[in-house]
Amino acid sequence: MNATKRPAHAPTVITFASSKGGVGKSTCSAAIAGALAARGDKVTILDLDDNGTLFRWHQKHGAKLRNIAVTRAAPDTFNDTLNQAKATDARYIIIDVAGAFEATMIKAIAASTVVITPAKLSEPDLREAGKILAEVNAFNQRFNADIQHRVLINEAESLNPMYQRHALAEVDASALVRFEHLMNRRAPYREIFITGYPPHFAGKGRATVEKAVTELNDIVAEIDAILTNTTKAKAA
């Protein structure tokens, strides 16, 4: 009897979580997945959002999204779906949770190495980020885990006006830890679910696409650093 073939490595699980809708979880998931896939890493996205935005996106445009697979996940089958994704050759599993505080979100957080909360520089978005941070901290404390949490500021102004600098300073003075690099308000992000192409797949030649690719590469480099430091901490 043949044994089930297992992947040579355990995939890294990254969850985009916020209990608030409209913060950009699906857009950030697709954009980061595109950046990872463009460098040759296979990515599986688990779409837990009730709207199924990422699942429908992949159904329509999947043929041109190399290295990206999307699976629709339901709360009652989440564990089985996650285990099936882990048994593939995916290097990364990205979980896009629904914009509601529910048990499946806690399951996704528990399965993650990194939890990312997208947020605009608004009080409601950042307040929700604080809730997710509290859940991550509680889980880490209860189970002696080392799940990392980061806030990803999106829809930022590329000119970085004074109000934005002031808001970022307030975030930095809080308990929240954010990515140094921001996702600025750019057309290529809004076009993902129209053309089907994340910035890394959109082709060269447009300055706005190149700028989006650069900032996504910077964010992925920060994710790599988080994963490296987490691995070193576990080894120690």
Bridge partners, 156 (sequence order): 184
- Total domain count for the chain? 1
- pLDDT for position 6: 43
Tell me, yes or no, whether 5 lies in a domain. no
Tell me, yes or no, whether 35 lies in a domain. yes
Residue 125: pLDDT over 50 = yes
- pLDDT for position 164: 97
Whichever domain contains 49, its CATH number is: 3.40.50.300
- pLDDT for position 230: 78
Tell me, yes or no, whether 2 lies in a domain. no
Asked which of 8-12, 114-118, 155-159 is least confident by mean pLDDT, the reply is 8-12
**Residue range 57-79: average pLDDT?**
95
Which pLDDT band, with edges at 50, 70 and 90, does 4 fall under? very low
Residue 205: pLDDT over 90 = no
Relative orientation angle of helices 53-61 and 25-38, to the nearest 10 degrees:
40
Long-range contact list for 209-213, CB < 8 A, 24+ apart? 211/158, 211/184, 211/186, 212/31, 212/186, 212/188, 213/35
The model's pTM: 0.94
- pLDDT for position 99: 73
Tell me, yes or no, whether 7 lies in a domain. no
Tens digit of each residue's pLDDT (9 = 90 or more) over 148-176: 999 999 999 999 999 999 999 999 999 99
- pLDDT for position 9: 73
Work out whether the CA dihedral 49, 184, 189, 92 comes out positive or negative. negative
Residue 1: pLDDT over 70 = no
- pLDDT for position 203: 87
Tell me, yes or no, whether 1 lies in a domain. no
Average pLDDT over all residues of the chain: 93
Residue 71: pLDDT over 90 = yes
Q: What is the H or E stretch that residue 212 is in?
A: helix 207-235
- pLDDT for position 50: 85
Tell me, yes or no, whether 209 lies in a domain. yes
228 vs 98, more confident: 228
Tens digit of each residue's pLDDT (9 = 90 or more) over 174-204: 999 999 999 999 999 999 999 999 999 998 8
List the domain range (segments joined by +) for residue 102: 12-235
Residues 6+ apart with CB under 8 A from 30: 45, 54, 57, 192, 193, 198
Helices (H), 11-146: 25-38, 53-61, 78-86, 103-110, 123-143
Which pLDDT band, with edges at 50, 70 and 90, does 101 fall under? confident
Residue 233: pLDDT over 90 = no
- pLDDT for position 234: 66
Tell me, yes or no, whether 193 lies in a domain. yes
Tell me, yes or no, whether 60 lies in a domain. yes
